[in-house]
């Protein structure tokens, strides 16, 4: 009986102070910060599709040299992306531990490897931008050799390369400037402290008071467990989204991403060049407006009266009030 009364005292003490832990505010702000950061990293992923389209349109020619230029420019863009991922993703570090592995998969050539190795010391290991500089040099050469017909096309392609480089730099900035560890520790301590205090304080006790209608005497505080489950779920969501370039199943699939980018870049800049369907008249060539589909569910807007105007809202003559200014 003594220990039972002691347990009741501890439970009542925890119940009186458990609401003083601002777990909802702390955890909600932390979740918002982590999700915003996670989505920002996704939006910072550089996609080479726009660059490949611009290169295929700007670098004109069907000979071997122009084909090499187009393929090399988009390959340099993909190489810059892979070099960026090697610095922030354990998956990419495992897949491309050395430059030789980049050569094996076609991202790099032997001569380019020597240039990268010579630049590492001067650039303090940060060389993701070097292939983009090479791409700019190729654009300049293509303009001098008149494979690019005007300076406007050069400006557009260079602008897209700068956007690509900026997104790679944003990924590195997210990796270098992380959420302070102390904030993560505060949130974790707050959640688990609330968990322990709630489990103790929300127990059903004999001396917690009776009401006229009585209370349901159950052994398990169901809604308390649901509340704890929600808070722990929030915390686990934040932990899973904290580093989207990690090795977990919920992280970004960077392996498929780099393979997709390389494949689509070559398709746009090389294989699909001048590849389009034969030009033909469309189905509604002789019609001003094509007829509606035969099988179509009418929407609410279709059922409403067409061309509604404010004329239907004008008052009648006997309802109108005219004010004549003196």
Please report which confidence band the pLDDT of residue 82 belongs to, taking 50, 70 and 90 as the band edges.
Answer: very high
**Do 199 and 123 belong to one domain?**
no
**Do 97 and 142 belong to one domain?**
yes
274-322 confidence digits (pLDDT tens)? 788 888 888 878 887 666 655 555 565 555 555 556 666 666 666 555 5
Distance CA 84, CA 96 (A): 12
Among 155, 176, 197, the domain-final residue is 176
Radius of gyration of the chain (CA): 33
Q: Is residue 76 part of a domain?
A: yes
Closest CA to 53 of 70, 65, 67: 70
**Do 15 and 134 belong to one domain?**
no
**Do 169 and 199 belong to one domain?**
no
Q: Is residue 199 part of a domain?
A: yes
298 versus 130: which is more confidently predicted? 130
DSSP state of 21: S
Q: Is residue 321 part of a domain?
A: no
∠ Cα 126 117 244 (to 5°): 35
8-52 confidence digits (pLDDT tens)? 666 666 666 677 677 888 888 999 999 999 999 999 999 999 999
DSSP state of 271: I
**Do 53 and 159 belong to one domain?**
yes
213 pLDDT exceeds 50? Answer: no
Among 127, 160, 176, the domain-final residue is 176
Distance CA 90, CA 94 (A): 6
Range 107-135 average pLDDT: 91
**Do 93 and 154 belong to one domain?**
yes
* 245 in Cβ contact with 88 (< 8 Å): yes
Q: Is residue 104 part of a domain?
A: yes
Query: Structural domain of residue 121, as residue ranges?
Result: 49-176
High-pLDDT (> 90) share of the chain, %:
48
Q: Is residue 191 part of a domain?
A: yes
**Do 32 and 147 belong to one domain?**
no
**Do 28 and 12 belong to one domain?**
yes
**Do 14 and 76 belong to one domain?**
no
Q: Is residue 130 part of a domain?
A: yes
Residues 6+ apart with CB under 8 A from 30: 183, 184, 187, 238
Total number of domains in the chain: 2
**Do 88 and 156 belong to one domain?**
yes
Longest CA span, the chain:
96
**Do 76 and 135 belong to one domain?**
yes
Closest CA to 187 of 27, 33, 21, 20: 27
């Amino acid at each position: 009986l003594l220990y039972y009364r002691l347990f009741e005292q501890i439970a009542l003490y925890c119940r009186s102070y458990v609401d003083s832990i601002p777990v909802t505010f702390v955890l909600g702000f932390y979740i918002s910060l982590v999700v915003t950061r996670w989505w920002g990293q996704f939006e910072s992923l550089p996609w080479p599709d726009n660059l490949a389209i611009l290169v295929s349109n700007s670098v004109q020619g069907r000979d071997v040299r122009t084909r090499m230029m187009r393929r090399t420019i988009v390959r340099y863009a993909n190489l810059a992306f892979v070099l960026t991922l090697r610095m922030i993703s354990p998956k990419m570090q495992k897949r491309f531990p050395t430059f030789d592995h980049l050569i094996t998969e076609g991202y790099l050539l032997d001569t380019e490897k020597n240039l990268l190795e010579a630049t590492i010391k001067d650039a303090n290991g940060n060389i993701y931008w070097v292939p983009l500089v090479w791409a700019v040099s190729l654009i300049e050469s293509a303009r001098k050799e008149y494979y690019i017909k005007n300076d406007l096309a050069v400006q557009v392609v260079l602008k897209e390369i700068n956007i690509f480089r900026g997104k790679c730099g944003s990924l590195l900035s997210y990796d270098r400037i992380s959420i302070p560890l102390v904030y993560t520790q505060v949130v974790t301590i707050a959640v688990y402290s609330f968990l322990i205090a709630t489990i103790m304080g929300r127990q059903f006790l004999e001396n917690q008071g009776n009401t006229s209608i009585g209370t349901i005497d159950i052994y398990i505080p169901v809604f308390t467990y649901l509340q704890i489950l929600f808070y722990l779920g929030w915390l686990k969501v934040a932990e899973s989204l904290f580093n989207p370039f990690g090795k977990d199943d919920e992280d970004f699939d960077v392996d498929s991403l780099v393979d997709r980018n390389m494949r689509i870049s070559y398709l746009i800049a090389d294989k699909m060049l001048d590849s389009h369907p034969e030009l033909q008249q469309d189905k509604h060539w002789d019609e001003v407006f094509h007829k509606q589909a035969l099988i179509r569910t009418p929407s609410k807007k279709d059922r409403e009266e067409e061309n509604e105007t404010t004329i239907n809202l004008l008052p009648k003559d006997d309802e109108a009030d005219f004010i004549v200014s003196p």
